[in-house]
Amino acid sequence: MRFCREVSSSCETRGLTVDIDRDLLLLMLRRMWMIRNFELKVMEVHSAGEFTGAAHPYIGEEAVAVGACAALEDTDYIAGNHRSHGHPIAKGGRVDKAMAELYGRVDGYCKGKGGSMHLADYSIGILGESGILGSSVPVAVGAALAAHIKGENFVSLAFFGDGASNQGALHESMNLASVWNLPMIFLCENNQYAVTTSYAETVAVEHVSDRASAYNMPGILVDGQDVIAMYEATAEAVKRARSGQGPTLIEGLTYRYEEHSLGLGRVRRGEYRTEEEIESWRKRDPLTILEGTLISQGMATREECDAINAETVDEVEKATEFARNSPFPKPEELFDDMWANPIPFP
Amino acid sequence: MAQTVFVEAINQAISEEMARDENVFIMGEDIRRAVYGATQDLLNDYGEKRVLDTPLSENGFFGAAIGASLVGMRPIVETLTSFMWVGMDQLISQAAKMRYMFGGQATLPVVFRATMFYGGGAAAHHSDRSYPMFMNMPGIKIVVPSNPADMKGLLKAAVRDDDPTIVFEDGTLFGMRGDVPDNADLPQGELVVPFGEAKIVREGTDVTVVGIGGAVNIAAAVADQLATEGISVEVIDPRTLVPFDKKTVLDSVEKTGRLVIADPAHKVCSAASEIASIVAEEGFWSLQAPIQKVASEQVHIPFSPALEKLVYPDFAKITAGVKRTLES
C-alpha cells in the first residue's frame, strides 16, 4: 500500500525564478513563523486545559496558505475549513483576536460564538472557516459569482483538503465556476490524510489536480512546502481570474506533522503512518526551505530570520495574554447576532 | 385593484425588486425559459448576468447564492422543496449558522423560493411540505403565503430582509386568482407585507382555525359553510412561521376558547404542533376544548389519486376538527 506521495528533494534551497520583492518574502516568512508559533502555543495551552474543544494544528502546512494568500489583496475573499488557524493568519488576520476566539472570549473574532474551527474576519475578506468539509467551497464560489455579476475585479479562493476533494460540493463548485467562467481559485491542501485515512486509498486519480481536466480548467501541482512555488502558482491563477480567464485548481502537496486534532490522542500515529514518513517530511520543513533560500540568495541573514521568529513568538505570547484577560461572554449575549433584522425569540 | 394569478404575483415581486435594486439577481433551474411561470420575461428585462440558469447542482448553487449574499448581493434562488434536500448542507451548515457562528460578521440577504407541488399526483419525491423542518433550525425566516397579494408583498419583503429566508410557495395556489393592489393605488407606491403579522381572514367567535399556506383558503371555505349552520369560525393566516405572530393567535383563542390548526405538512413536529404547543403553554386557561391538529397523515405521498386525496387536510377534515372542539 502506498501511504503518501514521494517527497521531492529538489528545492531545499532554490533559485528564484520570478522577481519577488524582498519585503514580500520577509512578510511570508513572518506569517509562516506566526502560524508555527501560534500553533505551538495552542498545543501548549490546550494540553494545559486553558480551553476546551477541538483544535487542528496547521504545523507543517504553513507554506500553502501563506504562499497562496500572499498573492491576494485584502479585497479578495477566502474561505477555509476546520484546520482553520493558518488561513486567517496567512491573510493578515490578528492573532490576538484569533487566540481570544479559541479561548471563547468576547474579544475573539466571533465574540466566542465560533471557536477554533470558525475563525472569520470580514474586514479583510475572510468569509469564514467551515467545520463541514467542502461546505465552504460553494460559498467561496458565490463571492466569485458576485464579482462576475457586478463586473468587479476581486477574486475568491477556497481552501480544502485532500479529504474534501471527494465531496460533491467541491465537484459541483468546480463545474459551476467553470461554466460561469468565475474568478475563482480552488486550493487543495493535500496533507495526505483525512484524519487517519490516506489520500491514496480514497482518491481515484493520481493527483487531486488531475480532477481539473473534468472541469475544463488548469490543474496545477505544486510543492506545498515551498512557499515561493505556492505564491507563484497562486499569483498566476489570480492573474487568470482577474483577466476573465476563469478558475484554476491548485494542489499543494504538503504534510500534517501533528495528529488530526488536539484531544484526539487515542489514535496512535504508528497505526496509519510511520515515523520515517513523518521524519522525511520534517526534513523538508517549509520554514527551513524559505530561510535557506533567503540566506543563500543573500536576501536575509540567519540573524534576521531568527529575529522574525522571535518577534512572532513575542506577538503570540501577547495574544495569549490578551485572550486570557478577555472576559467570557455574558449570559445575555447568548441571543446576540442571530439575526440581522431581529425578530422575537420563541 | 387587479385580479392577479398567484404565479403572476411572484413574477411581479421579482421583477419589481430587480428593477429597484441592481444587486438583486435570480438563479435556478430552467428559469430563463420560465418552466414554472414565475420567471417569465426576466431574462429579456434583466439580462443573462442577473437571470442565471444553473446546472442540477443544488449543493453548489445554493452555496453560491449564499456566498454572493455575503459580499453585497441579494440573490433569489428558485427551487422546489423536494430539491432542497440535495442542498441541505448549504441551507443548514452555512445559511442558517454563519451569522451567529461568526459573531454577527456575516449578513445573508438571500431568498430561497421553494415551491411545494403537492396534491397533483407528483408522488413521494415531488410533494414535500417541509417548512416545519426549517422551523426547527434557528437562523432561517420562513414565509408561507396563501394568496396572490400576500405572495407578492411577502416576497418583496423577503428580498429586502437581511436574513436568509425561505418562501414556501404553495403549488396548489399557483392558479389562484386574487386581488393584488396596483402600486399606483398604494400610499407607499408598492406592496410590501411585513414579516410577523398574522392576518385575520375571517372574524368569528366560536372556534379559531389557524391555517398554513393552501389550508388557509380551505379553512375560510369551512368558515363560510359553518356560518350557515350558526357556527362562527375565526380564520387566522400567520403568513410567516418565523417570525410567528403568536399574539394574534393567543388573542383569538382567548376569545373563542377553541383552536384547530390546519397544516398541509406531516402532523408530527409540524407547524401545527408548534402552534398547539404555544397555545398549550401560554393560552391554556383560555381553552374550553382540546386543540385539534388537522395535518397530513404520517405517510409518504402516494401516487394514486385515490390514496393521495386521503393524506392532506381538506374541507371535511377541517370541518370535523372544528366540530370536535364544540363537542365538549
Residue at which a domain ends, from B185, B209, B229: B185
Has residue A13 been placed in a domain? no
Has residue A340 been placed in a domain? no
Q: How many domains does chain A have?
A: 1
Q: Cβ contacts of residue A268 below 8 Å, gap of 6+?
A: none
Say whether B250 sits in a helix, a strand or coil. Answer: helix
A/B interface, count of CB pairs below 8 Å:
164
Q: Residue A339: its chain B contacts at CB < 8 A?
A: 99, 139, 163
The three three-digit cell numbers of residue A295, written as one number: 540566506
Has residue B194 been placed in a domain? no
Using only C-alpha atoms, chain A has a radius of gyration, in whole angstroms, of 20
Has residue B192 been placed in a domain? no
User: Strands (DSSP E) along chain B, which ranges?
Assistant: 2-5, 24-28, 51-53, 74-80, 111-116, 141-143, 165-170, 177-180, 199-202, 207-211, 233-237, 240-242, 259-266, 292-296
Domain of residue B59 covers 2-185
Indicate if B31 and B136 belong to the same structural domain: yes
Say whether B259 sits in a helix, a strand or coil. Answer: strand
Are residues B67 and B74 in contact, defined by beta-carbon separation less than 8 angstroms?
A: no
Has residue B213 been placed in a domain? yes
Nearest Cα of chain A lies from the Cα of B81 at a distance, in angstroms, of 19
Q: Cβ contacts of residue B85 below 8 Å, gap of 6+?
A: none
Indicate if B275 and B127 belong to the same structural domain: no
Has residue A332 been placed in a domain? no
Q: Please tell me the predicted confidence (pLDDT) of residue A6.
A: 40
Chain B contact for A110, CB < 8 A?
Answer: yes
Residue in B12, B268, B54 with CA at minimum distance from that of residue A177: B54
Q: How many domains does chain B have?
A: 2
Indicate if B177 and B217 belong to the same structural domain: no
CATH number reported for the structural domain that contains residue A285 in this entry: 3.40.50.970
Indicate if B19 and B159 belong to the same structural domain: yes
Q: Residue A111: its chain B contacts at CB < 8 A?
A: 103-104
Are A118 and B70 within 8 A, CB to CB? no
Indicate if B76 and B123 belong to the same structural domain: yes
Indicate if B179 and B241 belong to the same structural domain: no
Has residue A144 been placed in a domain? yes
Indicate if B171 and B25 belong to the same structural domain: yes
Domain of residue A169 covers 22-322
Has residue B12 been placed in a domain? yes
Has residue A4 been placed in a domain? no
Considering the entire predicted model, what is its pTM? Answer: 0.96
CATH number reported for the structural domain that contains residue B207 in this entry: 3.40.50.920
Indicate if B275 and B313 belong to the same structural domain: yes
Indicate if B102 and B239 belong to the same structural domain: no
Residue in A113, A248, A182 with CA at minimum distance from that of residue B100: A113
Q: Please tell me the predicted confidence (pLDDT) of residue A17.
A: 57
Residues of chain A where predicted confidence (pLDDT) is lower than 50: 1-13
Indicate if B119 and B47 belong to the same structural domain: yes
CATH number reported for the structural domain that contains residue B177 in this entry: 3.40.50.970
Are B52 and A180 within 8 A, CB to CB? yes
Chain B contact for A326, CB < 8 A?
Answer: no
Has residue A251 been placed in a domain? yes
Indicate if B222 and B179 belong to the same structural domain: no
Residue at which a domain ends, from B158, B185, B212: B185
Residue in B154, B151, B319, B312 with CA at minimum distance from that of residue B224: B319
Alpha-carbon gap, residue B199 to B144, rounded angstroms: 12
Are A340 and B72 within 8 A, CB to CB? no
Indicate if B179 and B223 belong to the same structural domain: no
Residue at which a domain ends, from B126, B155, B185: B185
Are B67 and A138 within 8 A, CB to CB? yes
Has residue A16 been placed in a domain? no
Residue in B219, B152, B146 with CA at minimum distance from that of residue B2: B152
Are A114 and B103 within 8 A, CB to CB? yes
Has residue A137 been placed in a domain? yes
Are residues B129 and B265 in contact, defined by beta-carbon separation less than 8 angstroms?
A: yes
Alpha-carbon gap, residue B204 to A301, rounded angstroms: 87
What is this model's ipTM? Answer: 0.95
Nearest CA in chain B to A341: B162
Are residues A149 and B73 in contact, defined by beta-carbon separation less than 8 angstroms?
A: yes
B126 assigned to active site: yes
Catalytic residue among B125, B126, B266, B300: B126
Has residue B191 been placed in a domain? no
Percent of chain B with pLDDT over 90: 99
Residues of chain B where predicted confidence (pLDDT) is lower than 50: none
